[in-house]
Amino acid sequence: DAKTTQPPSMDCAEGRAANLPCNHSTISGNEYVYWYRQIHSQGPQYIIHGLKNNETNEMASLIITEDRKSSTLILPHATLRDTAVYYCIVIGPDDKIIFGKGTRLHILP
Amino acid sequence: NAGVTQTPKFQVLKTGQSMTLQCAQDMNHEYMSWYRQDPGMGLRLIHYSVGAGITDQGEVPNGYNVSRSTTEDFPLRLLLAAPSQTSVYFCASSRGQGRTPLHFGNGTRLTVT
């Protein structure tokens, strides 16, 4: 089973920051938090990952709480092209990589 | 680099037929895996491989076979296709299991009638 809980859907106005939450209350010390997104029926695309520190790249920022039980993916200036399903996954070094149902993000013009 | 290449893109089978979905990667990745995605659902892991000669079962392995004779290729075989196997199939690879990001192919859309 997926180790994460995400809201099934969210809306965000174009140009605003999209903040996607993820709960992973049973995460263990050597497990990473990964985020992927899937646009239409394309193959999922890697966005970002982290262990315990906040991370930022050209696509997004990842904020992980101090107790590591939850995280937030931030798309700083959402565009219509960011409309997609976003998957939050917790993975250990030798784990099966299991996806949940993700959050369907709608960017509203 | 082409990345992860899946063929064919579309396939229609009759119940009971067999076929092989091809997956190849040119990134020298050790880890490869197959997922299926049904309408409105997330991805479910079918089989995976941590290196040539090694395969293991995922969440939904029944009805599918895999082998990994080379690092580059990880074919998925349906021996007796059933309508329940109608789905979109994605192949993915990474440098190591659970330690590096997955790279996905563009999928194979399979319909079994």
Q: What is the pLDDT of residues B12-58, one digit of tens each?
A: 999 999 999 999 999 999 999 999 999 878 899 999 999 999 999 99
* C-beta atoms of B102 and A44 within 8 A: yes
Structural contact between residues A88 and B42, judged by C-beta atoms closer than 8 angstroms: no
Please provide the average confidence, as pLDDT, over all residues in chain A: 94
Residues in chain B closer than 8 A to A43 (CB atoms): 4, 90, 92, 104-107
B105: distance to nearest CA of chain A, Å? 6
Radius of gyration of chain A from Cα atoms? 13
Q: In a mutagenesis test of the B interface, which of A6, A42, A96, A104 is the best target, namely the one with the most B β-carbons within 10 Å? A: A96
With residues binned 3-state (H G I as helix, E B as strand, rest as coil), the percentages for chain A, rounded to 5, are 5, 45, 50
pLDDT at A1 over 80: no
For CA atoms B20, B64, B9, A95, give the dihedral sign: negative
